[in-house]
Structure 1
Amino acid sequence: MQSLTLSTQLIQQVVDLARRAGAAIMEIYNQADVGTVYKEDNSPLTQADLVSHRLIVGELTKLTPDLPVLSEESRSKPYEERRTWSRFWLVDPIDGTKEFIKRNGEFTVNIALIEDGEPVAGVVHAPAVQTTYWSARGLGAFKQTAAAAAQPIRAAVPASAPMLVVASRSHSGAETEAFLAKLRELGDIDVISIGSSLKLCLVAEGAAHLYPRYGPTMEWDTAAAHSVVVEAGGTVTNLKGETLQYNKADLLNPYFAVLGDLPPELRAQIVERL
């Protein structure tokens, strides 16, 4: 792949690929049995995960044969090999497999382009609700639904009460509750529960002020939506305020916070309580 000045066409091709993967996923989603098994870490894996993985990896390899592809379902690639990658695709064939199994529609296809440890482009497609988010560095962030053409999005939320906080549908805990209690010192809050990387996308489109994550996630869970958030004017950082890095040895994210494009005083008050 050449420089990112040529990435508009590339990203549209990746958007189309994510939608094709979404269509394949929905064929299985609508079946009585989605073929669930469990991996060594006891996380679920469905036939749809594998179908999406094979389609995306195969097509990305054709599209950019010079770029490696790392998918959740092919993460056995050793770090000694990966550490030499300056640019590669990072894929989650289905982010929110638990939501897929629950059939609540809150799952996504995530495809990110990583360059020197940072996500520089991303596509997040939610096939059950026919909604796609995408971004590329310097080109902005966009959202498209079945009912409307693509529109640019901004992570700008008025500093008004109540504060809107996104929380995980399937993963929460005492640390999150403790943070929410400290956040209530600033005034009323409303908590929005949703699955998968849609949590980051809500911040990116200005539908929520922030998303705190006190719990384990992997790099493929966040990379694509991370790009969307940043191009929309928000931030994705660890609890020390440092931008999340990608292609680490263990591929594990630290606890992190996603903040919209907030007034400086409000941002400082939130960060103080993380």
Structure 2
Amino acid sequence: MQPDAAELKRVMESAALAAARAIMAVHSAGPDVQYKPDSSPVTAADEEAERLILAAMVRHFPSVPVVAEEAVAAGLVPDISGGLFFLVDPLDGTKEFVAGRNEFTVNIALVRKGVPIAGIVLAPALSSGFVAVENRAERFTVTGDFAVGERRPIGCRSRGTALTAVASRSHDTPQTARFLDDHGIDACTAIGSSLKFCLVAEGLADVYPRFSRTMEWDTAAGDAVLRAAGGETRTLAGDLLAYGKRNQPHDADFANPNFIAAGAGWSIGAAAGAK
């Protein structure tokens, strides 16, 4: 059974704020960095934030399985055949976190039949967050004692003549530069984590092209916010980006293909087909 919308929003926000408090405690002390088998960094902040989020999800929604980044890395993958599950990245942008930048986020999303229907992206060091439930996207501030402050609705902007893109700070590629050139986009902001989705959702950018590897927990929460704000995320084949991808013949479980995330008025099918 799908969680009640009001309770879902409350629990996601509470869990993300608890995780944010733990992350900022490690951030202040200076993280001790370890490396996983895939050479990606992990810190005590990732692990404690995931522990707190998992505890909250299990306590409030015990029948909904949770796919969480660090748990999957440890080989713990729940049965998601029922089609309803949470995707959690406790600290998206660990490279930004380790480098001392502020663009890391806590990501929690609810997926139903391959579609991210709710999500929260919280940026602890920026004292802000984004949440989407029932096709409504909001931006909110985070107070000094890790509570939700002011809220306001957000939405993608209409496409104009001057286009702005956002791209990965740590994973730039020649394909990204070619995409920008093919579409006459001169303005591009490099930023870490799932905040790229949120900038498009907030109407501060038009498109986020991604031509390097991501996992579903990296994208689901930001994608949920974007879709609720009137945008969408499509693969290069023009299909909506789907979640819960298991037993993929040419990639790992939960790995995403390249994609284009864009706001209102963007012809994603044409954009995705650009070479």
TM-score of the aligned structures, taking structure 2 as reference length: 0.90
Amino acid in structure 1 at the alignment position of 2:274: R
2:256 counterpart of 1:253: yes
Describe the SS at the equivalent of 1:84: coil
Matched residue, 2:250? none
Distance in 2 (CA, whole Å) between partners of 1:263 and 1:96 is: 27
Q: Does residue 1:159 correspond to 2:160, yes or no?
A: yes
Structure 1 vs Structure 2 CA RMSD: 1.8
Task: Say if 2:129 and 2:142, in contact at 8 Å, map to a contact too.
Answer: no
More displaced stretch, 213-222 vs 141-150: 141-150
Q: Which residue in 2 is equivalent to 1:56?
A: 53
1:82 is paired with a residue whose SS is coil
* 1:219-258 map, 5 Å: 219-249=216-246, 250-258=253-261
The residue aligned with 1:196 is 193
Determine if contact 1:36/1:44 at 8 Å carries over to the other structure. yes
Alignment of 1:27-176 (within 5 A): 27-32=25-30, 34-75=31-72, 76-78=75-77, 82-138=79-135, 140-146=136-142, 149-161=150-162, 163-176=163-176
Aligned partners of 1:252 and 1:231: how far apart in 2? 23
Matched residue type, 2:84 = R
Deviation for aligned residue 1:44: 0.3
Residue aligned with 2:48, SS: helix
Alpha-carbon distance change, 41 to 263 in structure 1, aligned in 2, over 3 angstroms: closer
Provide structure 1 residue ranges, at least 5 long, that are not aligned to the other structure.
Answer: none
Uncovered stretches (5+) of structure 2, i.e. residues with no partner = 144-148, 247-252
Alignment size in residue pairs: 262
Deviation at 1:157, TM superposition (A): 3.8
Task: State how far apart, in whole Å, the 2-side matches of 1:15 and 1:159 are.
Answer: 34
Render the CA deviation track for 1:59-94: whole Å, top value 9, x for unaligned.
11001111111100011235xx53523211110000
Secondary structure of the 2:183 match is helix
Contact conserved, 1:17 with 1:56, CA < 8 A, in 2? yes
Counterpart secondary structure, 1:133: strand
Instruction: State the Cα distance separating 1:96 from its structure 2 match.
Output: 0.3
Q: Identity of paired residues, percent?
A: 39
Compared CA separation, residues 263 and 120, structure 1 to 2 (3 A): closer
Superimposed CA distance per residue, residues 171-197 of structure 1 (whole angstroms, 9 cap, x where no aligned partner): 11111111122122xxx5201110000
Q: Distance in 2 between matches of 1:67 and 1:270?
A: 36
